[in-house]
Structure 1
């Protein structure tokens, strides 16, 4: 329970945040992947990525993403994404589950947290030998997608350094909202929208409202590092999440105005924000 909007958001963050530094666990999982793949593949590099190392993960819902960079000539050239993913799944052994819904990774479930998503990739370098970008499979469309995960992680880290902890906290608020929707945005998409949101990230309520404002124009098209990160959404799915974003923006605007307007009604504002974020958001009192 909370008496003010600010304390309500602080409590909300405590309810959903994945605390701690999990780099040791992440490296242990990465080493396991390297051992499994090493019997069948020439792995040029492997590194962790995703919400856990970027400190934007939710408690109880975070898996670890591991990118495995494979030798192009031996394992990628002339092969469909579905073939590469099938080969990776076979090499990972009987513990390997299905390909993730987005068609980009093989999921491994462990008895202890966290599960992992293994993303095979090919890297591209310039004349100086520097990596310019990677490509990862999209089995659903049988295409290879350009990605720059280290660039994105650096941007998130720099934005947090420039604006303080509320930047990452608001991302987690949105991810918790997102997981309750019938159609969900990818975590990467949510973070790109946050990076493109123009606000100082000093106030929880205003920052959340501004994220939804930015999201309204970032569902059907959202460009980052030269790529449209919304391409994974079919028109039907994009329409559904657009409607959800529009509704959340309207509710967030009303909740924000409850304290920004002349009434200064903390109780009404907290009720309004709870209508946006659901059971993990505290009640007034």
Structure 2
């Protein structure tokens, strides 16, 4: 068995879409963009979401496209009517695919992964407004700011940052930690500074940092004024902090085992910690 570094290299390769998946995503996006241009004539179409930021993990559930409309301000557009109109057009273009209105988008649900179409209006002050079907109103977002945060952290770490985010997402899902994916992503990215000496050390540092920040307010990187942490009560925050601290301690033990020549023990420890597909 190889070192802990070797195990992480193999693990991270399993989290990346294959060339065939990347080609399929590109083809579906191209077809979708062509029909959106033909039917809606949008000002622009922007790839958004975790796939665009490079932080999506497999199996891929959906790929998001934001359609910036050439239309009046939100006070002149009814949210439910707009989403129904988009649903009607997508069903006409994709009769063989299940489609439905979601809270802030219309989803096309293919067998392998979906496409989520998010209609948006550009704000003069910056950012965008997107529909919220449950609240029946327009809300502020700025996915470009979200992507900039990931890109900047990735630049500072020579590409390590997004892999660290994907790894903590896998851990969070496999161990039922209870953090929402985007909230965890933002906390992890904000915790990352310069490139760590090793990936294992970087992962330990991120887990330890999140254990200390999950109890604090977490604002939207898009500067919407909204908070990403409001779904957690105090009891759940303490439980999540404990999960993160225990995981950081386990990574520390694995790092020491690997340095001491007991790489098989280190890899087994991390496999137990992270779960499949490590």
Q: Report the equivalent of 2:107.
A: 107
Give TM-score scaled by structure 2 length: 0.78
> Any residues of structure 2 matched to 1:112-123 within 5 Å, and which?
114-123=113-122
CA contact (8 A) 2:183 2:229 kept: no
1:204 to 199, 206, 211: 199
Secondary structure in structure 2 of the residue aligned to 1:280: coil
Q: Distance in 2 between matches of 1:266 and 1:241?
A: 33
1:178 maps to 2:177: no
> Any residues of structure 2 matched to 1:90-105 within 5 Å, and which?
90-93=88-91, 94=95, 95-100=97-102, 103-105=103-105
Change (3 A) 1:157 1:263: closer
* Structure 2, unpaired ranges of 5+: none
Q: Report the equivalent of 1:234.
A: 231
Per-residue CA deviations over 1:71-122 (Å, capped at 9, x if unaligned) read 3428x4344544433332222114352344xx222210235x5421111111
> Any residues of structure 2 matched to 1:1-285 within 5 Å, and which?
2-20=1-19, 25-26=24-25, 28-37=27-36, 41-73=40-72, 76-79=74-77, 81-93=79-91, 94=95, 95-100=97-102, 103-110=103-110, 114-126=113-125, 132-180=126-174, 181=176, 183-186=178-181, 188-202=182-196, 203-216=198-211, 217-218=213-214, 221-223=217-219, 224-227=221-224, 230-231=227-228, 234-235=231-232, 240=236, 243-244=239-240, 246-260=242-256, 264=260, 265-281=262-278
Q: Distance in 2 between matches of 1:275 and 1:229?
A: 36
Change (3 A) 1:232 1:118: farther
CA contact (8 A) 2:66 2:117 kept: yes
Question: How far off its partner does 1:36 sit?
Answer: 4.1
Between 35-44 and 86-95, report the one with greater CA deviation. 35-44
Question: How far off its partner does 1:260 sit?
Answer: 3.7
Question: How far off its partner does 1:255 sit?
Answer: 2.9
* Structure 1, unpaired ranges of 5+: 127-131
Q: Distance in 1 between matches of 2:143 and 2:136?
A: 21
Secondary structure in structure 2 of the residue aligned to 1:279: coil
Question: How far off its partner does 1:34 sit?
Answer: 4.0
Secondary structure in structure 2 of the residue aligned to 1:53: helix
CA contact (8 A) 1:156 1:195 kept: yes
Between 263-272 and 40-49, report the one with greater CA deviation. 263-272
What is the aligned residue count?
A: 269
Kindly report structure 1 stretches of 4+ aligned residues shifted beyond 6 Å. Answer: 21-24
Per-residue CA deviations over 1:190-243 (Å, capped at 9, x if unaligned) read 33223211443322222222222333324762122323564475346x965763
Q: Distance in 2 between matches of 1:87 and 1:239?
A: 43
From the two aligned structures, give the one with the greater helix fraction: 2
Per-residue CA deviations over 1:151-177 (Å, capped at 9, x if unaligned) read 332332232223112222112212222
